[in-house]
Amino acid sequence: MNKAIRRMWLMVAAIVMVLLLTLTYVQFFAANALQANPWNNRTLYEQFGQDRGSILVGGKEIAKSVPANDDFEHQRVYTDSPLYSGLTGYFSLVYGATGLESAMGDELSGASDDQFYDRVMSLFSGDQPKGASVELTLDPKLQQVAYDSLEGHNGSIVAVDPKTGEIKAMVSRKSYDANAMSSHDTDKVVAASDQLNADPDKPLVNRAIGGDLYSPGSTFKLVDTVAALESGKYTTGSTLQNPSELPLPDTTVTLPNYRQGGCAARTEVNLQFALEQSCNTPFAQIAMDLGQDKIRQTAENFGYGQDLSIPLDVTPSVFPKDMNQAQLALSSIGQYDVRTTPLQVAMTSAALANDGVMMKPSLVKNVRSSDLSVIDEFKAEQLRRSTDAETANTVTDLMTSVVDNGIARGAAVPGVKVAGKTGTAEIGKDGLNDSWFTGFAPADDPQLAVAVVVEDVDVTTGSSVTSPSARQLFEAVLNK
C-alpha cells in the first residue's frame, strides 16, 4: 500500500503543478487580454474610483477626489469648473479623461515612473496608492479677470510670463461644468455629453490651444515685420508704398486697406505707421518681395507647424505651403489658410518681449507625491530662439507706438509702456470678425504677454473687448 501512497503523492503534486500552470496562464499570459475585455468593469472601477491626486491653482484644489458611496470608491469633483474646465478636462467613465486629467493621468493616478517607489512601498504597507497632486502655474486672480472680461462672448485669452514661459491664465469660453461629465451616473453623463456636443458654441473645446484654430488676422503682421527686419532689405526708415487697394497678381482681386482706418491718410508709409494703423498693402508687398519661404521660415521660428505639449497637446499653427503670390499676400495679413492658436499668438509676443528667446510654455508648476515630496518641478527652459535681440527690440518699439499712437490704444495702462498689436480676422460672416489683441507689458521689463481673441463680433465690439481685456490683465499683474 505504501507504493500506492507514494504514487498518490505524485498525483497530488501533479495536480498542484497543473493548477499552478493554469493560474500562470490566466494571471500572466492571458491577463492583458482579460483586462482589456470590454466586460471588465474592474479596470474602469479601479481607474475611475481611484483616489487621484488633486489639481491645484494658487494652493486651492480645482479638481479633487472625494470618497463616494457607489461602486466606485472616489468621485472626482471640480471647483469653479467653468473657469478651469478647459484645462482640467473631465474624468468620465463613459468618455474617458481629457485635458490635464489625461495629460497628467499617470502622475494623478500614481502610475508615473517617478512614483514607482511609492507603489512598491504601498504593496508592503497595504496603503492605497495615492496619486500625486499637480499644482498649476496659473494665477487664479488673472484667470478670473480673463474669464470675466470675455463675459457674453466666445473667445479665448492666454497670458504667459515671457521670461519663464509659465502660463498665468488660459481661458476658453464658452466653457462647461466638468462635474456633469464626471458623474458616475452614466445616463446623466451621456445626456450632458450629447447636449455639450450639440451646442454650436462648442464648449468642450479648449480654444486656447485647439479646436478649429483661428485666423490670426493682423497679429500676423508681427511675423512679417520680423521677417522684413531680419532680411536686411527693410529698416524702420524704409519707405513703403501704401495704396488703398493692391491688385493681386494673376487675379482680378484687389487687397484693400481697412477703409475706416487711419491708413488712408498716407500713400507712402514707414513700418511704424503701417503697424500702428495696421495697413494691409505695405505688408502684402513686403511678403511678396521676401517670398513665401522667408515668411514661413520666420513663422516656424515662432513656433508655427511645431508640436508642443504644455503638457496639454497644442494643435500646431499652420502657415500654408505652395502658395502663389496672391495667396501669399493674403497670408501675410493673417488671412487665407493661415491658422493659429491664441497660445501661439501669445508666445509670439512673449518671444519678442524676451529679446527674441521663446521660453517653453508650461501649465505645471510642480508635481507632489501624496507625502508632499516634490516629484517634478517647473524649470524655465528655452524653447527656441525666434529672432535676434536687436530685431526683437525694434519690433517691441514699434508695438509700443501701436498702443501709444495706433489702433490698440484701449490696452494702454497709465504710466506703463505697453507693447501691442490688434487684429481683425474676417471669417466670412457678414460684418462679423474674430477680433484680436496681443502684446506685453511693461515694454521695457516685460511681466506678462497676452493674446486675446473674441469671436463673431463687429469691429466696434471687438475693439471694446480685446484691448481693454489685455489692459485689465496688465493692471492686475502690475498692481500686485
Partner 1 sequence: MSSTAPAAAHDAAARPRPRRLTELLLLLLALGIGVGANILVDPEQLDKDASHIVMSGSVLGLGALLVHVVLWARARYADPYLLPLAVALNGLGLAMIHRIDLSTGQTAANTQVVWTGVAMAVCCVVLWLLKDHRRLRNVTYIMLLLSAVLLVLPMVPGLGVEINGARLWISVAGRTFQPGEIAKITLAVFFAGYLSTNRDLILLAGRKIGPVRLPRFRDVAPMLAAWAIAIGVLVLQKDMGTAIMFFGLFLAMIYLATGRLGWIVLGVVLMLVGGFAASRFFTHVSLRLDAWLDAFNPEVYNRSPGGSAQIVQGLFGLASGGLFGQGLGQGRPDLVSYSNSDMIITAFGEELGLIGLGAILIMFLLFATRGLRAALGTRDAFGKLLAAGLSALMVLQLFIVIGGVTRLLPLTGLTTPFMSAGGSSLLSNWIIVAILLAISHSARRPVVTGPASDEDLATIEARRRARAEQRTQGSDAADREPATEPTRSAALSSSAAAPHHAGDSFDAPDTGSATEAMSRISDRSDGPAAGERAASRDTDDAAAAATTGGDAARGGTRAASSGGPEQKNEPAQGEAEQEGGTP
Catalytic (active-site) positions = 218
- Compute the least distance from the CB of residue 6 to partner 1, in Å: 7
Q: Do 462 and 424 form a contact (C-beta atoms < 8 A)? A: yes
121 binds partner 1 (CB under 8 A): no
- Compute the least distance from the CB of residue 118 to partner 1, in Å: 12
265 binds partner 1 (CB under 8 A): no
CA within 13 Å, CB half, 393: 6
Compute how many residues bind partner 1; rule: CB under 8 A: 44
Stretch that binds partner 1, among 15-23, 298-306, 314-322, 340-348 (CB under 8 A): 15-23
Between residues 31 and 380, which has the closer beta carbon with respect to partner 1?
31
Between residues 16 and 380, which has the closer beta carbon with respect to partner 1?
16
Stretch that binds partner 1, among 93-101, 123-131, 356-364, 433-441 (CB under 8 A): 123-131
Stretch that binds partner 1, among 3-11, 219-227, 286-294, 417-425 (CB under 8 A): 3-11
Listed in order, strand segments (DSSP E) in 427-465 are 433-441, 448-457
Within 8 A by CB and 6+ apart from 256, the residues are 244, 245, 246, 280, 281
Q: Do 109 and 367 form a contact (C-beta atoms < 8 A)? A: no
Between residues 110 and 356, which has the closer beta carbon with respect to partner 1?
110
Q: How far is CA 405 from CA 180, 271, 273, 419, in A?
A: 47, 14, 9, 11
Alpha carbon of residue 284 to chain centroid: 29
186 binds partner 1 (CB under 8 A): no
Residue 155 zone, left/alpha/beta (φ > 0; ψ -120 to 50; rest): left
Q: Which residues in 57-68 are b (16+ Cβ under 10 Å) and which e?
A: beeebbbbbeee
Applying the rule CB under 8 A, the residues between 19 and 58 that interact with partner 1 are 19-20, 22-28, 30-32, 34-35, 37, 39-43, 45-46
- Compute the least distance from the CB of residue 375 to partner 1, in Å: 21
Residue position matching grid coordinates 514607482 = 116
Between residues 122 and 464, which has the closer beta carbon with respect to partner 1?
122
Partners of 452 in beta bridges: 157, 437
What span, in angstroms and rounded, lies between the C-alpha atoms of 334 and 166?
26
Cis ω on the peptide bond leading into residue 282 (within 30° of 0)? no
2 binds partner 1 (CB under 8 A): yes
- Compute the least distance from the CB of residue 31 to partner 1, in Å: 4
16 binds partner 1 (CB under 8 A): yes
128 binds partner 1 (CB under 8 A): yes
User: Which residue ranges make up the site for partner 1 (CB under 8 A)?
Assistant: 1-9, 11-13, 15-16, 18-20, 22-28, 30-32, 34-35, 37, 39-43, 45-46, 122-123, 125-129
